[in-house]
């Protein structure tokens, strides 16, 4: 029987309340913008001076204030360690500090957006909302105490990331001089194709990696009758697992490499980077490093460290293959965004080599 206490809600309620207020603001600003636009087209109605840009600027200010309040609220849990929400979430000293660090990075991102907005760079309400939702929900993955919570938060962040990609192409407003016949022909031949490629590869890479992860953890549940990290990590010492269990962990490593876009399964990430604006590339890289990649290392080194004998060999083989493969492809880069993608991949490989040294 599920029993909730007041202490179970003290840490997560501010985050959920921030998500709720951001969602209300998102629909409110979009509805108000549509009303102002329709009323301004009617010649009998006096035109209003309220602009959609003003609403977006107010929305960005609201997110900045919310992040400052979340950072202040998290300071109250300094030194606290324990489980809540019926043992589905676990807060430790490390995860508490890491979530604070992530919220500070999120605040830095929105300060950049605020400065761009002051410089009259246009951001749509959809874009600001998608970025805020990702930055609010992504750190919750570190609170997961079992596979189901981890998988739910992971897929939620993946869906929000895909939503951000869908609105990223139109985050800026071009001048009228851009819409000349020659520029439209060049735009139609070049940019939309890269944007569609980014959406296509991101969707299918996320889909197949999620299916493989789900398959792995279903088999993990079958062997251990539990999905809690601590119990699984402890029970492996008392259960004799079959030889083919190596295959499951190999699929698990493949799934995470595909989710992260790590070499040798990285070519789709180059296409994703090419189809996004620079600010979206920057935000995606921060979320990629400080959410997906760090949690993978945290999962292998802490939650599943007793399974080292099962994933170490596959991990080493894939990393070594990736090192030689990325070296062969590194000098065949023609786009600056492709260079950013390969720079991210090289940094990931460097961190993985450091982790292998710790093994």
Per-residue pLDDT, 143:
87
Per-residue pLDDT, 44:
46
Per-residue pLDDT, 161:
86
Q: Is there a domain that residue 204 lies in?
A: yes
Q: Is there a domain that residue 29 lies in?
A: yes
Do residue 258 and residue 342 come from a single domain? yes
Per-residue pLDDT, 43:
47
Q: Is there a domain that residue 236 lies in?
A: yes
Q: Is there a domain that residue 71 lies in?
A: yes
- Please give the model's pTM, rounded to 2 decimal places: 0.79
Neighbouring C-beta atoms of residue 139, cutoff 10 Å: 25
202-212 pLDDT tens trace: 888 888 888 99
* Low-confidence residues of the chain: pLDDT under 70: 1-8, 31-55, 169-192, 330, 332-333, 358-359
Domain that holds residue 110: 1-143
Q: Is there a domain that residue 39 lies in?
A: yes
Per-residue pLDDT, 180:
45
Do residue 14 and residue 137 come from a single domain? yes
Please, what's the b/e burial string for 325-358 (b: 16 or more CB within 10 A of its CB; e: otherwise)?
bbeebeeeeeeebbebbbebbbebbeebeeeeee
Please say which residue of 143, 172, 188 terminates a domain: 143
198 Cβ neighbours under 8 A, 6+ residues apart: 165, 271, 272, 273, 274, 275, 276
Do residue 204 and residue 324 come from a single domain? yes
Do residue 248 and residue 117 come from a single domain? no
Per-residue pLDDT, 6:
61
Per-residue pLDDT, 119:
77
Q: Is there a domain that residue 125 lies in?
A: yes
What is the total count of domains within the chain? 2
255-273 pLDDT tens trace: 888 888 777 777 777 778 8
Do residue 108 and residue 197 come from a single domain? no
Do residue 120 and residue 65 come from a single domain? yes
């Amino acid at each position: 029987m599920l029993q909730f206490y007041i202490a179970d809600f003290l840490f997560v309620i501010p985050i959920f309340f921030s998500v709720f207020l951001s969602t209300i603001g998102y629909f409110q600003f979009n509805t108000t913008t549509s009303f102002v636009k329709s009323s301004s087209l009617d010649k009998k109605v006096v035109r209003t001076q309220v602009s959609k840009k003003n609403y977006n600027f107010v929305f960005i200010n609201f997110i900045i204030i919310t992040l400052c309040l979340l950072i202040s609220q998290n300071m109250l849990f300094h030194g606290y360690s324990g489980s809540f929400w019926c043992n589905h979430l676990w807060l430790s000293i490390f995860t508490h500090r890491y979530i604070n660090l992530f919220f500070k990075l999120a605040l830095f991102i929105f300060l950049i957006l605020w400065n761009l907005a002051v410089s009259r760079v246009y951001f749509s309400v959809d874009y600001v909302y998608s970025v805020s939702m990702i930055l609010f929900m992504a750190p919750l993955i570190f609170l997961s105490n079992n596979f189901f919570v981890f998988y739910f938060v992971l897929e939620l962040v993946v869906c929000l990331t895909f939503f951000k990609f869908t609105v990223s192409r139109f985050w800026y407003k071009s001048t009228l001089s851009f819409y000349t016949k020659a520029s439209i022909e060049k735009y139609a031949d070049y940019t939309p194709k890269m944007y569609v490629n980014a959406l296509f590869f991101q969707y299918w890479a996320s889909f197949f990696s999620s299916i493989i992860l789900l398959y792995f953890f279903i088999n993990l549940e079958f062997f251990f009758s539990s999905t809690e990290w601590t119990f699984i990590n402890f029970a492996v010492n008392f259960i004799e697992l079959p030889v083919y269990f190596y295959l499951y962990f190999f699929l698990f490593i493949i799934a995470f490499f595909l989710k992260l876009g790590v070499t040798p399964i990285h070519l789709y990430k180059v296409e994703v980077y090419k189809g996004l604006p620079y600010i979206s590339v920057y935000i995606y890289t921060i979320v990629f490093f400080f959410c997906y990649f760090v949690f993978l290392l945290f999962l292998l080194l802490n939650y599943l460290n007793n399974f080292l004998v099962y994933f170490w060999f596959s991990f080493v083989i894939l990393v070594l293959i990736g090192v030689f493969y990325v070296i062969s492809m590194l000098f065949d880069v023609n786009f600056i965004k492709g260079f950013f993608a390969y720079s991210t991949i090289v940094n990931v490989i460097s961190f993985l080599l450091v982790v292998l040294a710790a093994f």
